Amino acid sequence: MSMLAVFVQIEPGRLAEIIEDPSRVTELLDGGESTGGLVKGPLAQAGPVGEMTELLQRAPKILEASMAIMDPAMRERIKQRLAAAGINTDAMTAGGKDADALLKLMRERGQALAAMVGSQQSPKAPNNSGKAGQGAKISLYKAWHGVHYLLCGEIEPGSAIPSQAVMGGVEVGEDLGYGPARYFEVDKVNQIAQALSTASLEAELIVR
C-alpha cells in the first residue's frame, strides 16, 4: 500500500462546506488509497519552453558543479545510477556523448512525468452536482516526496513556502490511511504559486 498525492482546485464555498462536513472530502478523491491536498487557486505556473531548453543544455555543467560539492557517498551513488544508464560522469563534457545521453535521459523522464500527470488530470464537470465548485485535479501518484525534495531540498516539510507546496496545509477530516487530507486557503495558494514561479526554481530543481 502506498501514499498517493492528489491535489484538487476548489472554490472557497466548496472548501467551507468540506470544513463544516469533513466526510465530504472523499468526494474529491479517486479511490480510498489516495490522500492529498485540497488546493484553491492556481496549481502551478510553467516557465517558457525556451528557458527549459536552455537549462537542459546547461544540465551537464550544473550536475558537474553540484557533484563536486556533494557528500562523497552521495556522489558515488549518483555516479553509479548514471553509469547504469550508460552515462560516465567523469567523461561528461558539454557536447560529448555522455552529456547528450544525460540530456536524452532527462527529456525522456520529463516526458514520462508529463504524460503521467496529464493522464491523471480531471477537467471540471459543471453539469455534475457532485463536482460543483471543483476545478482542476492533478495527481503526483507516488512521486510526491520526490517532488517535495526537488522543490525545497528537505526530506520533511519546513517553514519555507516551497517546502509547504506538497506537504503543507491544514488538516481536515479523518485519517485516510496516511493522515487526513489537507487544504490551503486562497492567500496561501497565491504565496505558493508565486514561489513556484520564480525564475531560478527550474535551475534549482535540476541541481537537486
Per-residue pLDDT of the chain (208 residues; tens, 9 = 90+): 467 788 888 888 888 888 898 888 888 765 434 444 554 444 333 334 444 455 556 677 777 777 777 778 878 888 888 888 788 877 766 557 777 777 777 777 666 666 655 555 545 444 444 566 677 888 888 888 888 888 988 888 888 898 889 888 899 888 877 788 899 988 898 898 888 888 888 888 888 8
Asked whether residue 103 falls in the same domain as residue 134, the answer is no
204 occurs within a structural domain: no
Q: What is the pLDDT of residue 3?
A: 74
How far is Cα 73 from Cα 81, in angstroms, rounded to an integer? 13
Domain with 15 in it: 4-46+120-198
Asked whether residue 177 falls in the same domain as residue 149, the answer is yes
Q: What is the pLDDT of residue 115?
A: 61
End-of-domain residue from the set 112, 144, 167: 112
Asked whether residue 73 falls in the same domain as residue 100, the answer is yes
User: What sign does the dihedral 205-114-184-51 (CA atoms) show?
Assistant: positive
189 occurs within a structural domain: yes
Q: Which residues of 102-118 are buried (b: 16+ CB within 10 A; e: fewer)?
A: beeebeeeeeeeeeeee
> Domain count of the chain?
2
208 occurs within a structural domain: no
How far is Cα 51 from Cα 42, in angstroms, rounded to an integer? 21
Asked whether residue 9 falls in the same domain as residue 40, the answer is yes
Asked whether residue 101 falls in the same domain as residue 64, the answer is yes
Q: What is the pLDDT of residue 93?
A: 60
Q: What is the pLDDT of residue 117?
A: 53
End-of-domain residue from the set 85, 112, 139: 112
Q: How far apart are the first and last CA of the chain?
A: 27
End-of-domain residue from the set 90, 112, 134: 112
Asked whether residue 37 falls in the same domain as residue 136, the answer is yes
CB-based contacts of 173, cutoff 8 Å, min separation 6: 18, 22, 23, 25, 180, 181
Nearest to 136 by CA among 50, 6, 9: 9
Could you give the count of Cα atoms lying within 13 Å of 163 in the half-sphere of its Cβ?
A: 9
What phi, psi does 192 have (nearest 5°)?
-65, -45
Enter the pTM of the model. 0.52
